[in-house]
Structure 1
Amino acid sequence: MKTILFPRLYPEAVVDGSSVLPPGLELEVKTVTGDREVRYLAVFHNRGSVARHLDAIRFTARPEPGDFLSFPGREYRIFLEGWTMVTPAKSVRYGEKDNFCNPDYLPAAVSDPVHYNNAAEPNRFSGEYVGLLNHRPSGSILLAGFITSRRMMCRLTIELAESGVAQLELCCDADHILVEPGESVESEELLLTCGSDSQALLKEFASRWGENMNARTWDHAPTGWCSWYYYFENVTAADIAENLEELAARRSDFPLEYIQIDNGWQSAYGDWLHTNARFPEGLRALAHSIAEKRFKPGLWLAPFLVEKNSRLYSEHPEWTIRTPEGETVWLDPWGSTELAVLDGTHPGVQAHFRNLFRRLAELGFEYVKLDFMMYACTPGKGRYFDPKATRLDALRRALTAIREGFGEERFILGCTTVLAGVVGLINAERISTDITPYWERKESGRDRYREDCCVPNVCRNIINRTYMHRRLFLCDPDVHIARRDRNELTDAEVRLWTSALLLAGGLKLLADRFSTLEPERAELSRLLLAAPDRFRLRPLDRFDREYPAVWFGIDRESGAPALGIFNFAETSMRLQVTLPDAPAGTLRNLWGNETLKWVSGAPCEFQVEPHNCLLFLPSTQSK
């Protein structure tokens, strides 16, 4: 790879809306230069006599002669990470527009919804945490990313022009926090590095981020059953009992570890120790019934959400995020339910979380799935109890209390949360929007929202976030749906989803009703459980298309290759692939009779029908 000239970054602090610092305020910048990398850490000092509000610390670059930003704009491909599990992690290029997201959902999808472009104009792109700038003619890649996430949300903006990169901005949002005289505030640590292999760069980035944040994982990839995707919010104790009986009787076929009771069991959001009428015997009996069948009990909660009619809100309205006038901030209604958000900076909330999760552990639960946590970081017009706290502070302080209560030895899965906020505090994290028992649904006359719940969006995030797995947390790609009842997916679409999960690794949770699961569909679930975290996976076409079609895996034990060719489009696809370096051998398509002789560097051509895939595995391990 040709040596590149890093762009020059110009740091600045934004204080009370202005980047012009008055006397007494100082921004100190520490720079460390290493082998093909530069690291930056900025420290804002208030040496004056008046308290100030810090809005942001940002680093900006524009092209200078000969540097990496000075190539023609059409020669770049850009990969940008997303804020939460649902936010797109994808590649874009000159002439395209930014992600088209549901305007009503923006506050839960991007860290700065006020200034988000939302596909309004071409060539201005935004992302979170990390971005890759790929110069296609030379193959060189510049990575810019933040390798800590202690206090600030970090985002990137890249604007392309015909002549080059018009602007690169790397911003740490400080959320207008109060900085008293004599106090200092650090930015997150920024890394610029370069290479020619996008996956290797991202894996190294994630490793360093994880090391800095003391990332947790687990000693294996858990398996289990989840109630949500068949029963949804209508689940009952009888449904759980039926599936427990089926799974216990068929344990050799489905050697599962956890039974996860998802949304629908609670009496109200916020009252997490009280079940509703569909679970009349309560949580202790529920956990006991699961453990009695030799499974580990797991429970879904949305810990930050509290209903207006809950016991918790009636007793502690002061624990919610509140306006400057002291009124509770209410989310947009979920049907007839009015919901507020607990303030993670409030000492009472932190004590509540310690007690709540300590009690759940005492009741027998060994696993929790924590959902809708991004709301802890979306105060809207509200203010936190602690005026010196950032949005990330609110989330991480609360999660620290949850971990202290639940214990080090129990498993925590994050869901619908700010990805940076959970590193070091949870064991696993969902990395995609929800899988659906249909391909997609969208309103007539509009394009697909890029955070929509649909199979293509799920698969796009799964493959593009493989670099996070075992470095920031265990990745959860979501559940397997194999059934025919309550399922609109075609046979080909079910095979495609099964293939994605088999290659992706991470958690493996099933989500069907086992008394009605047909034998040929049950075989697909058994296939996944045979080796739950089998492959090291990467996309071979990250920069070529929004939805990567070529998924390349290496068996963790044997070193043998695997190749998935996915067609997420509405028309048939013919694709040429140069086989990457891997041990020679013969692979067979799991879903047909085609064979593939693996010769590193050899060109191959594949034909794939719409909503379908080919999955080539070592022939001794294919059916």
Structure 2
Amino acid sequence: MRHTRLMGPTKQPGRHRMKNVKGKLTYRREGVVMTLNFDLIDQAENDDLVIAPTTGATVPGERWTVTVTPRTTVTLLAAELRVPVPVPPYSRIFVNGYQTWTESRELGPRDRIPSLNRLARSRCSMYGDYEFVTNPGFPGRFHGWTYGYVRTKSDLLTLFGSLAEQTGFTLVTVAASAGRVTLQKECGGVTPASPYVLYDVYVGTGTDRETFGCYFDLLGLRPLRTPPLTGWTSWYNYYTGITQEIIQHNLDALGEHKVPLDVFQIDDGWQHAVGDWLTANAKFPDGMGTMADAIHRRGYKAGLWVTPFIAEERSDLLRNHPDWFLTDDHGKPVKAGYNPSWSGFFYSLDVANPTVRSYLRDVFDLILHAWHFDLVKLDFLYAACRKAPEGKTRGQVMSESMQFLRDIIGDNLILGCGVPLGPAFGQVDFCRIGGDVALKWEDRLLSTIHYRERVSTVCALRNAIGRRHLNGMAFWNDPDVTILRDTGNSLTEAQRRTLFLVNQAMGGLVFTSDDISSYTDAQLRQYLSQFPFSAKAALEARPFGEAWRLTLSAENATYVVAANLGSRPATIDLDPGIYYCNGRLVDGQESLQLLPFDSTCLRKANGDNIELLGTTTHLFPGLDIAHFECHETSIELRRFDTAQLEGEALIGIPDTSARWTVNGEAVAPERQGIHTVLRVPMARVARPVDSGILLRAASRDKEV
């Protein structure tokens, strides 16, 4: 059951905190700029407007609402709420980046967010918030969007979360040395004619599970309609060089190995040009409907990449319909980015234009109902709000655009990418939560210029950890692909192993682009060790320098993923207990020693007299076991039908004196240190008759 306001209370600052919150609204009346200060206790008013605060208790925390009622015609310009928050030197601060690709991770009070290099602005500034947020780049000064938190203990944080991004984005800034969080509401240009909700925010102090559980409960998002999925995508091996033959080859390779994937996705490279979506290019002579049919025959859902809100320089769409695009103050199309793999700059469509909406309806009607694709990956979505029309905010435009996409796509699956996350909450089934994985660990050039949306494997992993709270709550997280192949990339074996493990731990949609027919036996075994793929709930993420100890729950078991993202060896402490790792038992009093970039996964014993300790046949030991039951000294064991590998299971028992059987066959006990165990070959473990036994939670009613 998901943790909500019905939980037992956590001690809250409550009214004391609200009493110290100070607000300021800046507005214009008849050409004169005015300000009105307010707080969360009493109503503030003047001849122009009334500001009325409303506060309500939640468990844990409070909900703050601030409503503006005009008495005459006014235009809002800016609003801020200043909240005192202790930020001791050992704190960790999380600020959520502007969109999917923006770096988002916990920082220390002495860290900083460097400013983008001026020389990079002409090519990079369009992707983030560089053009409309002043970033001082000072230590202890941070900014993010929609939600953020200050963690003062490993298990205690204060979360600030906007409940109303549909009216305007909420900028969350932290001044560590001043001990202050400021919530700035985007409202510039809004002329309210009736009571206008300026702020609707949740503020709560508690554990990760308590605070994020309450936040998502208050958001009231629709339940997730799909379980977590695995898939194959063409991008990270072939990029725009895909052909019908390449797609068919990879589809056949997966089918011949009977890989139980869910989705097979065709990415960028099938279209004539970005923006021209109604026909495939010459590399797909049989058409996209034929490709979707081939995917379905292999038993997979068919996915297709589309960028609905942009078109590139050489597209017919831009050439024939320049009036469909947003324009700047000089009447030129608004640039949304630059991509040398296309034709240079690409531009933002005006999603409010009825003709543009009609075109997009035709595009998705073709893709979903004529070609019969099941999932669409919608990329570069931030472009919709590159420029807001007079009287609207960026957040309002982005939210309306996401609602429009959901309306026209209906019940088909959406993977959102390159999107501000708040407007995507509840609108997409899956969402990328980090930048693209690179074919190397880090891009030193892009890192040096402080480009926060860069293609970077280590940044993608940090985001997967940093945004873990969203997985299974706002949508299923897509941490981006895993890479196991040793060709066409410069990742080390340890880096590839860590990318595979962390993405599996933190993700609800996990893709690869590898040609599995080129795998070695060891690589194929590693790849197949993910099946069956299961939802995992992140319970805790504790840093040890550049390394992390991630605690997860899945199928009533507790797992610890130890991952070193740094270039130096790392030591990670375990909590007390007994753990299973790679066929052996580990005492929690031991520390884990990790080489640079390396990782491992442990299953924690729950202390039962007789219990499944783990298996050597799954990345998360034991997740391939569907049924474990014991009657005195007789044990029944069954595997999921999607389990792929041969190996053994390890079962803990109380003593060696009894005669033990597993699935009716005698198994001799053995000692491992001070523990007595049974080693059971998987050849003795039957698979369930019912292939539908693996039922995964497709709702938010789970732990954060």
TM-score in terms of structure 2 length: 0.76
> Does the CA contact (< 8 Å) of 1:414 and 1:426 recur in 2?
yes
Which of 9, 21, 24 pairs up with 1:9? 21
Corresponding position: 1:317 with 2:322: yes
- Please name the residue that 1:204 is paired with: 214
What is the one-letter code of the residue matched to 1:74? Answer: P
Distance 1:594 1:194 in 2: 39
- Please name the residue that 2:702 is paired with: none
> Does the CA contact (< 8 Å) of 2:581 and 2:602 recur in 1?
yes
Corresponding position: 1:168 with 2:161: no
> Does the CA contact (< 8 Å) of 2:50 and 2:71 recur in 1?
yes
SS at match of 1:187: strand
Give the direction of change, closer, same or farther, for the CA distance of 1:475–1:444 in structure 2 (3 Å limit): closer
What is the one-letter code of the residue matched to 1:127? Answer: G
SS at match of 2:35: coil
Which of 13, 20, 25 pairs up with 2:49? 25
> Does the CA contact (< 8 Å) of 1:554 and 1:561 recur in 2?
yes
Give the direction of change, closer, same or farther, for the CA distance of 1:308–1:614 in structure 2 (3 Å limit): closer
Q: How much has 1:318 moved relative to structure 2? A: 1.9
> Does the CA contact (< 8 Å) of 1:481 and 1:512 recur in 2?
yes
> Does the CA contact (< 8 Å) of 1:355 and 1:405 recur in 2?
no
Corresponding position: 1:46 with 2:57: no
Q: 1:435-446 counterparts in 2 under 5 A?
A: 435-443=437-445, 446=448
Q: 1:138-287 counterparts in 2 under 5 A?
A: 140-161=156-177, 164-165=178-179, 167-174=180-187, 176-179=188-191, 182-195=193-206, 197-209=207-219, 211=220, 214-251=221-258, 254-287=259-292
> Does the CA contact (< 8 Å) of 1:478 and 1:508 recur in 2?
yes
Distance 1:128 1:12 in 2: 19
Distance 1:41 1:455 in 2: 40
Q: 1:375-454 counterparts in 2 under 5 A?
A: 375-379=383-387, 383-384=388-389, 387-408=390-411, 410-443=412-445, 446=448, 450-454=452-456
> Does the CA contact (< 8 Å) of 1:89 and 1:461 recur in 2?
yes
Distance 1:270 1:60 in 2: 43
- Please name the residue that 2:595 is paired with: 609
TM-score in terms of structure 1 length: 0.86
- Please name the residue that 1:369 is paired with: 377
SS at match of 2:99: coil
- Please name the residue that 1:484 is paired with: 486
Give the direction of change, closer, same or farther, for the CA distance of 1:25–1:317 in structure 2 (3 Å limit): farther
Distance 2:224 2:130 in 1: 25
SS at match of 1:88: coil
- Please name the residue that 2:146 is paired with: 129
Distance 1:565 1:355 in 2: 48
Give the direction of change, closer, same or farther, for the CA distance of 1:94–1:249 in structure 2 (3 Å limit): closer
- Give unmatched runs, 5+ long, in structure 1: 63-67
Describe the superposition over 1:540-560 as per-residue Cα deviations: whole angstroms up to 9, x where unpaired: 315x65x551111122x2x22
Distance 2:423 2:131 in 1: 16
- Please name the residue that 2:108 is paired with: 93
SS at match of 2:273: coil
Q: How much has 1:392 moved relative to structure 2? A: 2.4
SS at match of 1:437: coil
Distance 1:340 1:112 in 2: 16
- Please name the residue that 2:608 is paired with: none
Which of 116, 120, 128 pairs up with 1:109? 128
- Please name the residue that 1:549 is paired with: 548
What is the one-letter code of the residue matched to 1:577? Answer: L
* Percentage identity across paired residues of the two chains: 23
- Please name the residue that 2:82 is paired with: 60
Q: How much has 1:236 moved relative to structure 2? A: 0.9
SS at match of 2:350: coil
Distance 1:216 1:24 in 2: 42
- Please name the residue that 2:571 is paired with: 574
Give the direction of change, closer, same or farther, for the CA distance of 1:340–1:171 in structure 2 (3 Å limit): same
Question: How many residues are aligned here?
Answer: 578
Distance 2:459 2:446 in 1: 18
Give the direction of change, closer, same or farther, for the CA distance of 1:179–1:203 in structure 2 (3 Å limit): same
**C-alpha RMSD of matched pairs (Å):** 2.7
Q: How much has 1:230 moved relative to structure 2? A: 0.6
> Does the CA contact (< 8 Å) of 1:476 and 1:507 recur in 2?
yes
> Does the CA contact (< 8 Å) of 2:578 and 2:585 recur in 1?
no
Give the direction of change, closer, same or farther, for the CA distance of 1:112–1:326 in structure 2 (3 Å limit): closer
Give the direction of change, closer, same or farther, for the CA distance of 1:397–1:142 in structure 2 (3 Å limit): closer
Give the direction of change, closer, same or farther, for the CA distance of 1:423–1:19 in structure 2 (3 Å limit): farther
> Does the CA contact (< 8 Å) of 2:461 and 2:503 recur in 1?
no
Describe the superposition over 1:124-147 as per-residue Cα deviations: whole angstroms up to 9, x where unpaired: 1112222222334x9753222213
- Please name the residue that 2:348 is paired with: 341
Distance 1:255 1:77 in 2: 40
- Give unmatched runs, 5+ long, in structure 2: 1-9, 37-45, 605-612, 618-704
Distance 1:292 1:94 in 2: 54
> Does the CA contact (< 8 Å) of 2:114 and 2:450 recur in 1?
no
Q: How much has 1:231 moved relative to structure 2? A: 0.3
Give the direction of change, closer, same or farther, for the CA distance of 1:74–1:508 in structure 2 (3 Å limit): closer
Q: How much has 1:324 moved relative to structure 2? A: 4.0
> Does the CA contact (< 8 Å) of 1:343 and 1:394 recur in 2?
no
Q: How much has 1:113 moved relative to structure 2? A: 4.1
Q: How much has 1:326 moved relative to structure 2? A: 3.7
Q: 1:74-89 counterparts in 2 under 5 A?
A: 74=89, 76-89=91-104
What is the one-letter code of the residue matched to 2:208? Answer: S
> Does the CA contact (< 8 Å) of 2:539 and 2:553 recur in 1?
no
Q: 1:463-502 counterparts in 2 under 5 A?
A: 463-502=465-504
> Does the CA contact (< 8 Å) of 2:165 and 2:399 recur in 1?
no
Distance 1:501 1:445 in 2: 22
SS at match of 1:287: helix
> Does the CA contact (< 8 Å) of 1:203 and 1:467 recur in 2?
no
Describe the superposition over 1:183-207 as per-residue Cα deviations: whole angstroms up to 9, x where unpaired: 4432341111112x23442343234
Distance 1:548 1:200 in 2: 25
Task: Pick which of 387-396 and 256-265 moved more.
Answer: 387-396
Describe the superposition over 1:60-84 as per-residue Cα deviations: whole angstroms up to 9, x where unpaired: 134xxxxx54x7x435432222222
- Please name the residue that 1:65 is paired with: none
Distance 1:394 1:3 in 2: 35
Distance 1:40 1:303 in 2: 36
